Amino acid sequence: MQVRGNLMLSIMARSFHNYFLMDNDNRNQPVRFIANKVAGISFENKCDHATWFDANLYAIQGIHMLPLNPSSALTRSRRFVQEEWDAYWRAGGAEPVDNINNGWKGIIYANKALIDPSASWNFFTQSGFSDQWLDDGASRAWYLAYAAGRGGGPS
């Protein structure tokens, strides 16, 4: 059963890497589409960098971060997460995370634990933390446990 589960996760990670979560050197998607970093909505022979529920970049990118769980480190490679962070979330990116003031902010910072678990931990432990940065399906305790499990935590 464990071997079967590992095979399923490996196939999923490989297909995500090739078709949905695009590193800069992706060879399967059109060159002009790769900069989007994620497929968005995939149809039979079309990808649309969009969602059906929200036109904001944080939703288009962030929906591909969910669910955030231990296998996220397999499906969302460090390289990909860093490229996505640099393109979108850092200061000067397309949609800096510090400008987001809703539950997507927590999702993005939890995802950051894949490349910088200490920064993720520090975000969730800051004194001015706001509960509005948590989406309805998450908790601060889970995000702290996730960051700690990735190597973040008190110094």
pLDDT band at 45 (very low <50, low <70, confident <90, very high): confident
**Residue 100: its pLDDT value, please?**
97
135: left (phi over 0), alpha (psi -120 to 50) or beta: beta
Q: Provide mean pLDDT across the span 103-131.
A: 98
**Residue 154: its pLDDT value, please?**
86
For residues 12 and 15, what is the distance between their CA atoms, to the nearest angstrom? Answer: 5
**Residue 44: its pLDDT value, please?**
85
Q: Provide mean pLDDT across the span 13-31.
A: 94
pLDDT band at 155 (very low <50, low <70, confident <90, very high): confident
Q: Would you give the DSSP letter of residue 38?
A: B
Q: What percent of the chain has pLDDT over 70?
A: 100
Instruction: Give me the residue spans of the domains in the chain.
Output: 2-149
pLDDT band at 61 (very low <50, low <70, confident <90, very high): very high
Query: Mean pLDDT of all residues in the chain?
Result: 95
Task: Output the CA–CA distances (angstroms, integers) from residue 144 to 2, 36, 101, 103, 152, in the order listed.
Answer: 27, 29, 19, 15, 8
Whether the predicted pLDDT of 46 surpasses 90:
no
Q: Provide mean pLDDT across the span 27-44.
A: 92
Q: Provide mean pLDDT across the span 119-134.
A: 97
